[in-house]
Amino acid sequence: MDKIIILGGGGHARVLIDLVRLSGTYKIAGILDPQFDPGTMISGIPVLGNDDMLPELVTSGIINACIGTGSVKDTLIRKSLYDKSKAAGLSVPPLIHPRAVVSENSKIAAGAQIMANAVVQTDSMIGENTIINTGAIIEHDCCIGTNVHICPAAVISGVCRIDEGSFIGAGATVINGINIGKNVTIAAGSVVITDVADGVTLKGVPAK
């Protein structure tokens, strides 16, 4: 199996470790995270150092990375790590949990992560470095942009568009045909029934 390095050692990284092990596609070479001392073990995987090691790891023959940092409202850290990995010459492949349901007619871009029990229905597009988290549903004909986080149990109904950098909180619902702009935050449990402009934060039922 090809080796893969994980950037980040927190909760999202531990979930990804399980995903990678279950999928059997890659061997995890280690974790990069400046918050942990080298040699620290996280779910049986050693911390090697921080992300300054990326060029050294590429030279050693590691060609794959995955972004193990989640996001709470702010997706910029994930974007920074993704861009840094690509600049170092690493491939950031999409990761799909074996218990996710993804239509063969949907497109999953580089760096996207589809977690356990998530559903991506037909003719949808999931952008680069986007998380479709545990149990989230993306219905048919949706376009989810880059660096988006769809949190656990969120429901994106059919023919919706969610642009770059937006954050859809846990258990939120976006009704059919809605367009959500860039860098939007939708609070957990909200119900979005109208289009949302760039940079807006909404909460409530309906979301305001």
Give catalytic residue positions. Answer: 140
Instruction: Identify the CA nearest to 4 among candidates 23, 28, 24.
Output: 28
* CA dist list (Å): 56 to 8, 28, 47, 49, 62: 17, 16, 15, 11, 9
CA 81 remoteness from chain centre: 12
- Degrees (nearest 5) of the Cα angle 39, 43, 49? 30
The whole-angstrom separation of Cα 82 and Cα 165 is 13
- Whole-angstrom CA distances from 55 to 3, 4, 93, 158, 161 are 15, 14, 18, 42, 36
Backbone Cα Rg of the chain: 17
- Kindly list the strands in the beta sheet with 161-162, ordered across the sheet, starting from the edge strand earlier in the chain: 107-108, 125-126, 143-144, 161-162, 179-180
